[in-house]
Structure formats: C-alpha cells, structure tokens
Amino acid sequence: MLSSYYKKKLDELIAVCKRNLSTSKVDENLITNAFRFALEAHKNEKRASGEPYFSHPYEVAMILAKEIPLDDITIAAALLHDVVEDTKFTINDLKAEFGNEIADIVDGSSQIDGISDNYELKQIESYKKMLLSMTSDIRVIIVKFADRLHNLRTLEFLPDGKRIRLAQETLEIFAPFAHRFGLSKIKIDFEDLAFKFLDRRKYDDIANKLKEKRKDRERFLKKFIEPIKERLTQNGYKFEIYTRPKHIYSIYRKTIAQNKTVDELYDLYAVRIILNEASKNDCFTVYGICSEIYIPVPERFKDYISIPKQNGYQSIHTTLVSKEGKMVEVQIRTIEMHEIAEKGIAAHWKYKENIKISDKHIEDWMKWVRETIESVGKDDYTSRQLIESFRLNLYQDEIYCFTPKGELKILPAGATPVDFAFEIHTEVGMKCIGAKVNGKIVPLNTPLKSGSQIEIITSKNQTPKRDWEKFVVTHKAKADIRKFFNAEKRKFSVLGKENFEKKIKKHKIHLNEEALLRFIQKLKYKDLQTFYYEIGKSEPRLEDIIEILVDRNKSYLEPREIDDEALGKQELEKEKFISEARSSVEDIKLVTEEKKEDIKGIKYDYAKCCNPIPGDEVIGFITKTEGIKIHRKNCKNIVNLFLLDPNRIVQINWGKASAGEFTCGIKIIGEDKPDILNDITKTISKSYKVNIRSANIFTKGSMFEGTLVLAIENLKQLNTILEKINSMDGILSATRYND
C-alpha cells in the first residue's frame, strides 16, 4: 500500500504522461508497477543530499514525461534505471517482471555509467557506449539524458572532484549529443548547468549582468515586437511571440570567440515567432513582413526550412536592426517545427506495436552512427583526436552542398572537397585526385561554402595522401584515411622485415637487436616498424642499407681496431686542433666575473678531462700546485670538485676572440652519395655565412668520414649548424669534434 505522499506523486506522474506522451493510450498499470517496484528496491537508500534515493528515478521519469516525452515504456524504464546497478535485483529479475524491452533499455542505460579517475579514457568509452546503445534502441540514450540532467540539477551535493569531472563530461559529451538529437532545451540546460560548476565566477558574472538589465531588456523587446504583432494580426495570422536572452554558456562562448566583454556584445537578444495553423510558405511571408518593419542583416539570413539540419531542425533565422540600432536575432517557424526544435528526436519518433517508425532525418542520423561505430575501435585514434572528431561532427555548424546530379550532402562547416568525396562513398574519397566547385577546379583543401555544386574527379591509380589528414574535418574522412595508412603500414612493415632478414642472411651479416636498433637510430629511424615500413616501400632504399651494412658493419656496429701509429696520428691531430682553437683568442685573456680584471699573469692550464676551447662555457678550479684548472661547465669532474671545496671554484670567461670568431671542429659520418659533401659545405658557408678553415675527408666503401674546422661566432650558431647537417639525407651523425 502506497503512502498518501507517494500516491500523490504517482498520480502526478501519470497525469503528466497522459498529457504529453506520444502514445494514444498510456499504460497506467505498467507505470504503477514500475513505480512500486523501484520504490521498494530503493527503500533503504539515500542520495548524497540525504533525500530518499527513489526521488532520483522519479524525477528522471518526470523529466522524460515533461521535456522529452516518448512512451510509457520509456517512463517505466526511467523509474527502474538504477535498480540493477544499485540494488540486489538483476536484469533477469526485470525481464521476468517487465519483459525484455524495458529490461534492455535499463541494461543499456546502465552501461553508460558515471565518471572514472581515468577521465580521458572514460570519455572514449562513454562515446562508444552511447553510439552502441543508439543502434539497439534510441530510448536508451534518452533515459540517460534525463538521468544526467537530474544529476546536474543536484550536483552541489557531490564532492568537488567528482562534481568537476561530471560537469566536464557533460559539456564535452552529453551536450554535443543532445545538440545532434535536436534537443535544444536539454542541450542548453546541460551547458549552463555544467558551466556553472566549472567556472562559477564567470557564470555568476554573466547571470548578474543579464539580471541587472532584465527590465531594460524586457522594455526594449516589448517595444520591438509591437509593430510585428500588429502586422501579423492584420494579416490574419495566429501566432505566439517569445522573447529571451541568449543562454549563459552561449554568451560566454561569444565573449571568447569575439574577444569582447558581455557589455560589448551586440546580439544578446532573441525573438521567436511561432505560427499556428500555418505552412512553410507562411514563414517566408512573415519574414518579408518583418523585413519591411526593420532592416535585415543579409549575411545573417539562414533558411533551414528549405534545407533542414540533419537532426530535422527547421526554421528561418534572420537578424534585424531595431530603430535604436540594436541587433535582434529572430527565428520564424510553424508550431510543428517548433516542437521538433524543442524536443528534437522525441518529436520525430513514434512507437506502435513495438515497431519503431522514423523519418529520413533519423535514418540518416542512424546511418552516420553506424558508420562511426565501424571506425571506432579499429582506428588507432589518440583519446584527444577521437573526442575532437566527435565534437566537430556533433556540434559544428553545417553547410549544404550538392553533387552534379543535385543530391544534397550535409557537412560540418570547414569541410573540403575530400570530405565531400568520402561523404559520397569511401572509394570515391580514396580515388579523389581533384574537384570542381561550381565548375571551377579548386585545391583539395579548399573550405566549401553552402549552396556549392561539387564535382569530384577520380583516378583508379590514386590513393590517399598523407597531407589530407591535416585538412579534412569529418570523422568519416579522417577514419577512412587513417585506416588506409594503418593497413598500408602493416603490409609494408611485414614485407620490409621479410626482405631485410633474407638479405642479411644472404650476406651473412649477424645483427642482434641492440646492434640493429643502434644502426637504425644513426639512419634517423625512430623505431623498427618505421624502418621496416620504409624499406618495404622502397627496394632501392633496402639495397642502399644492405650495402652500408656490408661495407661498414664492423666499423660502425663494433669498436674500431686502431693500430698504435694511427692512434698517435689521431691524438696529434686533435692536439693541433685544440691548440689552434685556443690561439684564436687574443693573448688568451681570461677574466673573473667579479673583478673584471685581466688575470693573464696567473698560472692556469686546461683540464684534459674535457678539453675546453673558446666558445665553451667554462669555470675555474684553484689547484694547490698547478694554478687554475679550466673546465667546461658541463664537465662531470667539476661537479665532484665543487662538492670537494666550493670555495676554490672561480667564475671564468674567455677573453675577446680575434675578429669575434672562435675555432671549432665538427666530425661528420655519412653515406658517400653524389654531391653530399658539396651540400654540406654549401650549407655551412652560404646558408650560415661561416668560414671553413680546413677540411679532412676520407671514404671507405659507400661511407665517408670527415672533420671540418670552422670559424664560428658562438655555440648557438654551432648547434644550429649541427642540427641542420644531422637533418640532411644520408648523414649518420654530425657532432662536435672535441666531444
């Protein structure tokens, strides 16, 4: 037996259902049984606010009955949506009591659960689960919308961390989905409530400014609509006119996009003209009447009646300039259009004998969903890429383009001919080599404009290009392109590995994994898969690498064997270079930073451990018998000396170099390719205007090794040169000679 309190609550729910639900007859027994079952299941539970837990599923059911009315099955599922997750009852219990249809909606809604600590991963899973749920029964996500909306309305009772994550998830996932479903009121509630908890100061600032100006705004809008009301009445129209400010989050986004304060925004007002017992043509007639009264802004006119949005939204949008010079957005629609604009997909769908009936807008939307699901999971998007792709395709403004045969394609704003090609068919996108927009050939990265006719030019020999990924915007195009390159990379990586292993076996080259990794790093490959992919795609590249290995395997993968005479010559050459480098400084003037005095007469020497030369950042250590030892600042030994006795450390700077230059050597190892040495010297002498004082180059097989002595201005210039040479094709390494 229900208490009088709950009996009243049940009666209120059934009354709202009878008034709003799309079904011709509401099953009162079904709703009553679900009400009693959920009340009993949750009887010992409390919400964070301290209220009985049952208040939550009840309010969720009320939201559905009032704001997204579908059918009595959806109401029953809403009352039961937390039973399996939070009580002892199972899905099988619900199936036995209420049947498979309600149990499946409850189960699907439960799968799209709350927040986790791994927030970004959770976003991806939430997207996937929402998409999967929609393909089985659209009512699953409708129940979840109502569940989330009530949670937002009571969010202040949750801990700060969970509150912020839930609000962020609502803004990034739930609001875009509600927008895509045409549920404009729900979307606005999602955005404003989430924004309030994410940035309360900015939310309150905008809300307070709107409140402060409410009376002025109401007086202005009342005056603005008066002549419109008079003319419409004279012309015999039955209508309603609503005035409102833009919602808070949309105003906030305008302040960011336009870099203005709230006070500086000019289009904060909106007027809706709802025509009863009217046709589409009447909307255009009313637009004409409004344009006679006030000056319209031509570029702000949008006709969503002739070409509805993908979610079925229809309306005329225009901006009119008032007598006071203020801009007012005006929307004109019929009562049927208004119901779709407010209730979105809920206004489209009807259920009859458990068979879902939808119109073309819903069919197109579900087709998009199915295609998206096919790409999600197979595609290796990063978390952020996937989220951004969804948000772009769910939330962005739309453009309307046509094929040469007049077929309409609706795309996100910013879409290109390549997006258009993939929208026609994946194969058309794959083979696209060019496009004509309104009869003129345009680059493939050209942003399309509404109303354009697009002709895609294809070739059977064409394949997607890497740079397409940088400019396409639709999820389908991005997913198809990435899918192609992933498959291509896997194919050529396998082929490259097989061919490489056959070649090194043929030449009896033995490489362990460590040696191979060291080798490919010198060739500037980031990992083995990339290496195998590149040689799999290019047989000549594979042959070049095998030749390098055959010629230089022992030289560069194993320590060199150097005889005493060669070693002695190498040391003499190094000593000569260091001496020449130090002589480039006039009189080797060294100064302390503190006193700025010449310490030429003080005994000093250069540390053999790091061999500093002009251009290095140096530091001095006062020894007991050998005067000051000069080290590089990054020398490992100087750290130990500093710990030993920091008082014996002195700050040292080089004196002024002759002609403002220092001598420095670089050592280069690379493939002996035509013109490579010419390219290196040209880069150094012409691009960086650096004098090459000497060069010592020798070759062996397909490789070369050389030392260049340069006159440089500073270390920054040297590092820039080394970076440039290391980026050149065929260079294994370019390093400072004295390192």
Question: What is the band of 331 on the pLDDT scale with cuts at 50, 70, 90?
Answer: very high
Per the domain annotation, does 576 fall within a domain?
Answer: no
- Among the options 86, 329, 469, 672, which is catalytic? 86
Check if the beta carbon of residue 70 is closer than 8 Å to that of residue 346: yes
pLDDT given at position 99: 92
The total of structural domains in the chain comes to 5
**Residue range of the domain that includes 299:** 207-343
Check if the beta carbon of residue 607 is closer than 8 Å to that of residue 637: yes
- Among the options 85, 342, 488, 544, which is catalytic? 85
Catalytic residue check, 28 = no
- CATH code, domain carrying 287: 3.30.460.10
Catalytic residue check, 86 = yes
Query: Each residue of 68-100: pLDDT tens digit?
Result: 888 899 999 999 999 988 888 889 999 999 999
- DSSP-assigned beta bridge partners for residue 632: 618
pLDDT given at position 528: 83
At residue 50, the 3 state secondary structure works out as coil
Question: What is the band of 23 on the pLDDT scale with cuts at 50, 70, 90?
Answer: low
Would the pTM of this model clear 0.75, i.e. be above it?
A: no
508 and 617 housed in the same domain: no
Range among 304-313, 414-423, 683-692 rated most confident: 414-423
Query: Each residue of 254-268: pLDDT tens digit?
Result: 888 778 887 777 677
316 and 221 housed in the same domain: yes
- CATH code, domain carrying 685: 3.30.70.260
141 and 237 housed in the same domain: no
Q: What number is the average pLDDT over the span 688-696?
A: 83
pLDDT given at position 410: 81
More confident residue, 540 or 620: 620
Per the domain annotation, does 308 fall within a domain?
Answer: yes
Query: Each residue of 348-397: pLDDT tens digit?
Result: 654 333 334 345 555 665 665 555 555 554 444 444 555 555 555 555 56
93 and 175 housed in the same domain: yes
Q: In 554-661, where do the E strands start and end? A: 590-592, 604-606, 618-622, 628-632, 649-654
Per the domain annotation, does 449 fall within a domain?
Answer: no
Query: Each residue of 281-298: pLDDT tens digit?
Result: 999 999 999 999 999 988
At residue 525, the 3 state secondary structure works out as coil
Q: What number is the average pLDDT over the span 152-175?
A: 86
Lowest mean pLDDT among 78-87, 94-103, 201-210, 549-558: 549-558
Q: Within a 10 A sphere around the Cβ of 344, how many other Cβ atoms?
A: 26
Pairing of strands 316-321, 327-334: antiparallel
Taking the C-alpha atoms of residue 261 and residue 255, their distance in angstroms, rounded to an integer, is 6
171 and 233 housed in the same domain: no
Query: Each residue of 439-492: pLDDT tens digit?
Result: 899 999 999 987 788 999 999 999 999 899 999 988 889 889 988 988 888 888
